Structure 1
C-alpha cells in the first residue's frame, strides 16, 4: 500500500537486520518481531516508543498464546502512550486467547467471521492413505501427472523432510524452491519473491510459510504431513492457515493431505472440528484424479 503514499518508508526490526549503535529510526512504519522490537525500543533506543501512534499485532493468536511472544508483546504495549491505537488481527482466535486479548485492548471493537466462513468452502479437501514418505512422494507425482497445477505449496512438519522432498523433486526435474526457518531474512525474501514471480512453480515449506503469503496463482496446497501439537493432537489453526494459501481472492482451490494409517485419527479430528468432509482418494487411480478438476 505504501507505494501509493509519497515518502512513506518501512523499517524491518527482525533478527539478522543489524543496525549500528546510535541509529535513529526515521521510517514511518516499523515491521518486526517482538524480541527485536524490544531491543530497538529499550536496549538500543533506536526509536521513541511514546511516539508510536498505531500498534498492530498480526497473527495475534500466536503472539498471545506463545509465552515468550506474549511477554514481549505485553511489555511493548505497556510502554505505549495512552492514545496509541491497538489493532489485533488473526484468522483464528480461540476463546482463551480472545479473553486475553480483551485484557490488553479494553472496550474493543470486535469483527468476527462466522465459523463456517473459516472452513473455506471454496477449497476441496482430499486425503491419500500412505505407508511412508516414499509412498507420499509417488502420490504427489501422480497428482502432477493428472491435474493442471498453477503453483503449489507443499507443507512439511520438519526441516529434514522438507529438504528430502526438495531434493527428490529437483532430481526428477521439477522446478521447486525450499523455505525454512534456517534461511536468512534476505534468503527468505528472495525465495518468496521468485515464487510470486512464477519462477518457481512449487514452494516446499515448514510452518514458517503457513501464514501471510498470498499468491493468486496457487491452486494446490499439499500437507505432506499433517500439522500437530505435540505427538497426538491435530493443530487445527495451522491446518486452516495452511490450506488457506489456496482458494484465495474468490478462486477455487484444492488441498491434498498425505496421511499415514496411524495418523488417520488426526485427520478425522480435523473433519470433526471444521464440520467438513475430507474425501479419500486412491493415489493409483489416475482416472479419479483427473476428474477432480471437473
Structure 2
C-alpha cells in the first residue's frame, strides 16, 4: 500500500437481520452428508488427514468461528469504525445504502431479501462496490462474524459467474468442513432463483471421478481437498478461475498445513484472477500471508476501538477458599438488582462445582465449557441471551464472542492469569467487558483467595491505571453504599 493511499472512516451501527434458517440445494455431495455433517463432525473434529490429536490443539479458533456463525441471529452492533484504504487513491470512494444501487440481477436481489437483509450492513456498503467493480479489484477485509461478510462475498460470486459456462469460475476456501458448509448454505439460499448456477463442495468424503472436469460454476471447500481437485484429480482448471475467495484467513494460517496449501492453490491461478481475503483479526502473521496472495489490494479494516472501563465498577472480595467465594457470590447476588450475570472459572471442574451449588440455591444457571460440542454451546448461549437462565458459568475457552446486552454483573471466580501465573490483562478486559455494554452501567467482582491473587489484582490495577475497590459482601450497608 503506497503512502498516498487515503482513508475514510464511517461509523458502524448494524440493524437488519439475516435469517439463519437455510434450506439446502446440494450438488456433488449427498443431502445426508450435509445434514449429519454438522452434528457428527463437531464431535470428532479431525483434520483432513485424520490427525485428531493435532486438531485438538489447534481447533479453538475454528470452533470459535463456527460458534459465532451459529449464534448470530442478527447483525452485530459494532462500535468500531471502518477504515477503507484504496488501491488507487485518486479513485472516488463508492459506497451504497441500498442493494438496488448495485444493479443486481432481479433473481439475486430477491435472493438477498429472502436472506432477511433489508439494507446493506456497513461492511457490505463499502465492500460490495469493490467486489462487483469492473475491471475486477482485489480486496483484503477485516470482518467479524455477524457483520454480513459471508453474504457479501456470496453475492459477489453469484454475480460474477456466467451460467452458460459449464466450468468452475469461482473458488472459495475455508479452514474446516463445517465452515465450508455454512458458506455453502448462504450461497444455496441466495442463489435459489438462479437454477443454472451450480455449487459443488470440495470437502473430505466427496469423491468424484478423476479427470472429469466439474461443470459447477462455484466450488466451496477446504484447502487440502481443493488442492487435490486442482492438481491430483484435475477436476478444476485453475487457469479458468476468475474469482478466488479465502475466508477466515486468521484461522487458516493457525491450522496445520492450511497456509501452505492455500498458497499452492493461489500459485496456480492467473494474475488476472480477482482475489478476496477475509479475516476477523489482522495480526502480523495475517498481513504477511495476505501480502503473499493478494496483489495491489483495496483494504477494509476495523479501527481499533479504545476499550473503556468508565461504565464498569470494579471490586475485589477477600476469601479463603472456594466455599468462601461461593458465600460471597450468594451475598452479592442477593443484594444487587441483576438482570443477568456471567461467572468465569479457570477449570471445567470448578465451573461444574459452582453450577451445581448455584442450582441448589435455586438460581437458573447455564454451564458453558470446552467438552461441549459447538452446537450445544450455541444452544446454551441462545437460552442465556433469551433470558431462560439468569446466570452463565463459563471457562475461558468459551467466553469470546458473547454479547448479551442485559449482563450487569461479571464475576471472576478465578482470576485470569497467563502460563507464568501473572495477570492476563487482555483476558481480564475481555471478561469484564461483557458488562457495561453500550453505555450501560455494570459491575465486575474479583474473588481473591491468596497473596498471589492479591498480587494479580495489583498488576491489573497498574496496567489499567484503575483502582479496584475492596468489597465486604457480609456488610450489607457497606455494599449498598459502594455499588449504588
The verdict on a shared fold, with TM-score over 0.5 as the criterion, is: yes
CA distance in 2: counterparts of 1:5 and 1:119, whole angstroms: 36
Residues 74 and 54 of structure 1, relative CA distance in 2, 3 Å threshold: closer
Q: Is the 8 A contact 1:151 1:217 kept in 2?
A: yes
Residue of structure 2 aligned with 1:228, choices 417, 422, 447: 417
Q: Is the 8 A contact 1:147 1:289 kept in 2?
A: no
CA distance in 1: counterparts of 2:320 and 2:340, whole angstroms: 26
CA distance in 2: counterparts of 1:75 and 1:38, whole angstroms: 19
Partner residue, 2:336: 147
The count of corresponding residues between Structure 1 and Structure 2 is 269
CA distance in 1: counterparts of 2:357 and 2:256, whole angstroms: 41
Residue of structure 2 aligned with 1:199, choices 382, 385, 388: 388
Residues 52 and 138 of structure 1, relative CA distance in 2, 3 Å threshold: farther
* TM-score normalized with structure 2 length: 0.49
Match of 1:234, SS state, is: coil
Q: Do residues 102 (structure 1) and 287 (structure 2) align?
A: yes
Residue of structure 1 aligned with 2:473, choices 283, 287, 294: 283
Residues 142 and 209 of structure 1, relative CA distance in 2, 3 Å threshold: same
CA distance in 2: counterparts of 1:241 and 1:83, whole angstroms: 36
Q: Is the 8 A contact 1:128 1:280 kept in 2?
A: yes
> In the TM superposition, what is the alpha-carbon distance from 1:129 to its structure 2 partner?
1.9
Q: Could you list the per-position Cα deviations for residues 12-44 of structure 1 after superposition, in whole angstroms to 9, with x for gaps in the alignment?
A: 9662389xxxxxxxx9769x9945469985644
Q: Do residues 2 (structure 1) and 29 (structure 2) align?
A: no
Residue of structure 2 aligned with 1:15, choices 34, 38, 42: 42
CA distance in 1: counterparts of 2:257 and 2:317, whole angstroms: 41
Query: Which structure carries more relative contact order (alpha carbon 8 Å, separation 6+)?
Result: 1
CA distance in 1: counterparts of 2:454 and 2:174, whole angstroms: 36
Q: What are the residue-to-residue correspondences of 1:58-137 with 2, within 5 Å?
A: 60=250, 63=251, 69-71=254-256, 74-75=259-260, 77-78=262-263, 79=265, 83-90=274-281, 98-106=283-291, 108-113=299-304, 117-137=306-326
Q: Do residues 53 (structure 1) and 245 (structure 2) align?
A: yes
> In the TM superposition, what is the alpha-carbon distance from 1:165 to its structure 2 partner?
0.3
Note the aligned Cα RMSD (angstroms).
3.6
Partner residue, 2:63: none
Partner residue, 1:21: none
Q: Could you list the per-position Cα deviations for residues 239-275 of structure 1 after superposition, in whole angstroms to 9, with x for gaps in the alignment?
A: 1221111111221211111122222122222222222
Residues 34 and 72 of structure 1, relative CA distance in 2, 3 Å threshold: farther
> In the TM superposition, what is the alpha-carbon distance from 1:198 to its structure 2 partner?
0.7
Partner residue, 2:370: 181
CA distance in 2: counterparts of 1:33 and 1:153, whole angstroms: 32
* TM-score normalized with structure 1 length: 0.76
User: Unaligned regions of 5+ residues in structure 2, if any?
Assistant: 1-16, 26-33, 46-114, 116-149, 155-172, 181-200, 207-218, 227-240, 292-296
CA distance in 1: counterparts of 2:399 and 2:407, whole angstroms: 13
Q: Is the 8 A contact 1:218 1:245 kept in 2?
A: yes
Larger CA deviation: 80-89 vs 207-216: 80-89
CA distance in 1: counterparts of 2:315 and 2:406, whole angstroms: 20
> In the TM superposition, what is the alpha-carbon distance from 1:188 to its structure 2 partner?
1.7
Residues 216 and 271 of structure 1, relative CA distance in 2, 3 Å threshold: same
